[in-house]
Amino acid sequence: MNQAALHRLVSKRTKNPSPQASFDQRLNTNLSLIQQLFFSLYHIEKHNKDFEKLLKLLPKLFELRPETLRKQDLNRLEAGPWYQSEQIVGMQLYVENFNKDLKGLRKKISYLKDLGVNFIHVMPITTRPKGENDGGYAVNSYYKVDPKYGSQKDLLALTSALRKEGILLMLDFVVNHTSDEYSWAKKAKLGNQKYQEYYYTFEDRSIPDAYEKVLPEVFPETSPGNFTYIPEMEKWVMTVFNSYQWDLNYTNPAVFMEMLTNLVKLVNLGVDVVRFDALAFLWKQIGTISQNLPEAHELVSLFRMCLQVVAPGTIFLAEAIVAPTDIIKYFGEGPRLGNECEVAYNASLMALLWNSIATKKTGLLQRSLTHVPGKPKECTWINYIRCHDDIGLGYEDRFIQDLGWNPHEHRKFLLDYYCQRLNWSPSRGLLFMYNPKTGDGRITGSAASLLGLESALEQKHQQGIELALAKIIMLHGIILSFGGIPMIYAGDEIATLNDYSYTKDEAKSGDSRWVNRPMQDWGAVDKITDTELPQSKVYNKLKHLIAVRKANPVLADHNNVQLHQSGNKHIWVYERSDGNKQGIMVLCNFDEKPQVLDLGWIMKLGYFTQGNPIDLVSGTKIEVNSGLLELQPYQIIWLKKH
């Protein structure tokens, strides 16, 4: 039982506790865990006083929590893991690209509702440096709205409107680093010792050099190395991401407490889900790659356990784009099981789907997912196809080898396939952080362009257009039915193509991820009733699938995804079932040719007890000839058990 479940149990014993009494109860329930986590990070002899400070801080932070949110906290506490519901469908968007500013976004709530979206990840909106700022991931403040988006009042008006409409909000908490213009960084530059200790600062290169021996580079092309010399303070500072993003020094408990305060101020604006940005990097240690260290997990759990006391209705999403076995650990292990992040990005599924599109085969997908360890029952995934970042090729070599492929050559093939280095490939992706020496690289591009729509439209190739649309729909059909929260990337619902305008902007041209951060095409939305247009075809199908998802509780995430062996290397099959009467069997053909599937084993699972079952995607009964089911190129079927 995780702490949230424990809170539920304990709170049931008291009738209508006051918010204060409920806070005390939660503090008592979490206290020993908080203490244990705190002292495993900060030595007890040196930091006893700091722990006392933390204990004084928590009630103060609770005082800041607005009344409405306190009520919501109690309701959510009672509801249990509300985020596993089949009712939740997400969209990730940039405010400025979606509809100019926060007021503009509020005006588009009806659009979200029409599609069926009720959870939005709004990309960074707080103040940031004027020039390069990594799309707002270099933060000047953790909770002050950048004037280009509007005011604090506008944000509060938005969050209250969202609450009224039952739409959840996710905002980023850039927990690993601040910008070099953040108030602490500015003071550090002026020589203030206290704030220099908020970061990893060094007089000379000796310690940085020791780190560099094994530290990988996140942005080798644009920001090589992990340290930046700051002439004003005549010191080196650790900058794992861009040179203007200074890594916070969490070995200093003052940093933890200040960041906890920042976190509470952020969630008090009406945030339901906190996207814990780059959390794998939170703890550094010489001689290691300084990612996924045990202390990083303890720190995340410490944040979690404290926030749970102050604002229990808010949950955490782990932004850990790391190997599957490492991702799963962000749900917590051992005594921290279910006590770290409630949600994590299913980056493995995402990357594997792109592999299956390029290879037209499902072997690596099936093999890799079969080996992903089970997750705690209180946790869930965010399933997605594209986001604002690149697609990394983080597959496990041993599984690639199992299929008889050479991992290095296979990754090269994927880069070639997606990044316009094969003339037969329909894909229009771009390379990201390509290293010609090693051949390593990542991929960017919009879903539609990567899936061939851009090239097919250009060549006016009707069949190519249809295939691309089928691929877009199939991949969305997967994230809408695989266990977890589906997160649609704004624009993908109307098959938006690559946006090359970033190349003309100096602050963006060095970062090809901008090719997939397009303006929302409201012109296409206006024409959605013209059902023959490619954009409308995708929109209307997704709208239908979202509605179907919401009508089928078996699609809620109760760790009830079962992968099946389809018997055809192009076809991927998984089942969502309650182990009894309810079930949906998802079948996807990753090939550009029709493929057949023997239905014998599906029949044995009870899908044909009342004749041929319905495919919820097309809304019609499936046709079966001589026991074989034919799937069209890139067709997805959701077979419903009677």
Supply the residues annotated as catalytic: 277, 319
Segment interacting with ligand GLC (CB under 6 A) among 9-17, 22-30, 132-140, 333-341: 132-140
Q: Looking at beta carbons only, is 70 or 121 nearer to ligand GLC?
A: 121
Q: Which amino acid is at 205?
A: R
**Nearer to ligand GLC (CB atom), residue 154 or residue 511:** 511
- Considering beta carbons, is residue 134 or 454 the nearer one to ligand GLC? 134
Query: CB 241 → ligand GLC: shortest distance, Å?
Result: 5
CA distance 474 to 463: 16
Q: Does 83 bind ligand GLC (CB under 6 A)?
A: no
Of 367 and 388, CB closest to ligand GLC? 388
Helix (H) or strand (E) holding 537: helix 534-550
Q: Which is nearer to ligand GLC, 86 or 96 (CB)?
A: 96
- Give dist(CA 266, CA 169) in Å, integer: 12
CB 347 within 8 A of CB 394: yes
CA distances from 465 to 443, 460, 535 (A): 22, 8, 11
Residue 198 beta carbon to ligand GLC: minimum distance, rounded to whole angstroms = 17
Whole-angstrom Cα distance, residue 486 to residue 508? 29
Q: Between residues 69 and 278, which has the closer beta carbon with respect to ligand GLC?
A: 278
In the complex, least distance from residue 175 CB atom to ligand GLC, rounded to whole angstroms:
9
- Within 520-549, the residues that bind ligand GLC by CB under 6 A are none
The one among 199, 241, 283, 432 contacting ligand GLC by CB under 6 A:
241
**One-letter identity of residue 389:** D
Q: Residue 634 has what DSSP assignment?
A: T
Selection from 488, 473, 445, 444 nearest residue 535 by Cα: 473
Q: Based on CB atoms, which residue is closest to ligand GLC, 174 or 382?
A: 174
Per-residue contact string for residues 316-355; x = within reach of ligand GLC by CB under 6 A: ---x------------------------------------
Quote the least distance from Cβ 313 to ligand GLC, whole Å.
Answer: 24
Q: Among 145, 188, 278, 629, which residue sits at the site for ligand GLC (rule: CB under 6 A)?
A: 278
Count Cβ atoms below 10 Å from residue 111 Cβ, excluding itself: 18
Residue ranges of alpha helices (H) inside 150-214 are 152-165, 183-189, 193-196, 206-212
Give the H/E segment covering residue 31: helix 19-41
Among 134, 146, 272, 340, binds ligand GLC (CB under 6 A): 134
**Rounded to the nearest whole angstrom, what is the least distance from the CB of residue 389 to ligand GLC in the complex?**
5
Shortest distance (Å) from residue 282 CB to ligand GLC: 12
Could you tell me the smallest distance in angstroms from the CB atom of residue 384 to ligand GLC? Answer: 12
> In angstroms, what CA-CA distances link 556 with 85, 379, 381?
5, 12, 11
Residue with tokens 């021996």, as numbered in its chain: 213
Question: If binding is defined by CB under 6 A, does position 175 make contact with ligand GLC?
Answer: no
Write out the two tokens for 126: 């707080």
Neighbours of 605 (CB within 10 A): 16
Locate 359 and state its tokens: 């290879």
Q: Looking at beta carbons only, is 169 or 322 nearer to ligand GLC?
A: 322
Of 637, 576, 574, 625, the C-alpha closest to 598 is 625
Span near ligand GLC by CB under 6 A; candidates 14-22, 133-141, 257-265, 521-529:
133-141
- Residue 508 CB, nearest distance to ligand GLC (Å)? 13
CA-CA distance, 222 to 228, in Å (whole number)?
Answer: 13
Range in contact with ligand GLC (rule: CB under 6 A) among 41-49, 131-139, 188-196, 532-540: 131-139
Tell me the site size for ligand GLC, rule CB under 6 A.
10
Which residue, 321 or 465, is less far from ligand GLC as judged by CB? 321
Site string for ligand GLC, 460-499 (x = CB under 6 A): ----------------------------------------
Beta bridge partners of 431: 443
Residue 174 found at the interface with ligand GLC (CB under 6 A)? yes
Please report whether residue 389 would count as binding ligand GLC according to CB under 6 A: yes
**Residue (310 or 343) nearer to ligand GLC, CB:** 343
Contact flag: residue 244 with ligand GLC (CB under 6 A): no
Q: Minimum CB separation from ligand GLC for residue 179, in Å?
A: 10
* Cα–Cα dist 99/106, whole Å: 9
Q: Are 567 and 526 spatial neighbours (Cβ–Cβ below 8 Å)?
A: no
CB 61 within 8 A of CB 310: yes
- To ligand GLC, the closest distance from the beta carbon of 22 in angstroms equals 34
Task: Figure out which of the listed residues 96, 132, 181, 277 binds ligand GLC, where binding follows CB under 6 A.
Answer: 277
CB nearer ligand GLC, residue 321 or residue 555: 321
Q: What letter does residue 137 receive in the DSSP assignment?
A: T
How far apart are the C-alpha atoms of 365 and 279, rounded to whole Å? Answer: 26
- Residue 137 binding ligand GLC, by CB under 6 A: yes
DSSP, residue by residue, 72-131: HHHHHHHH-SGGG-TT--EEEE-HHHHHSSHHHHHHTHHHHHHHT--EEEE---B---SS
Residue 139 CB, nearest approach to ligand GLC (Å): 9
Residue nearest to ligand GLC (CB): 137
Residues 174 and 259 sit within 8 Å (Cβ to Cβ) = no
Please answer whether residues 473 and 541 qualify as being in contact, where contact means their C-beta atoms are separated by less than 8 angstroms: yes
How far from 230 is each of 191, 204, 236, 239, CA to CA, in Å?
11, 11, 6, 11
Match 């650990």 to its residue by tokens: 329
Considering only CA atoms, which of 351, 350, 366 is closest in space to residue 572? 366
Find the part of the chain contacting ligand GLC (CB under 6 A) among 130-138, 205-213, 420-428, 520-528: 130-138
Residue 511 touching ligand GLC (CB under 6 A): no
Chain residues binding ligand GLC by CB under 6 A are: 134-135, 137, 174, 241, 277-278, 319, 388-389
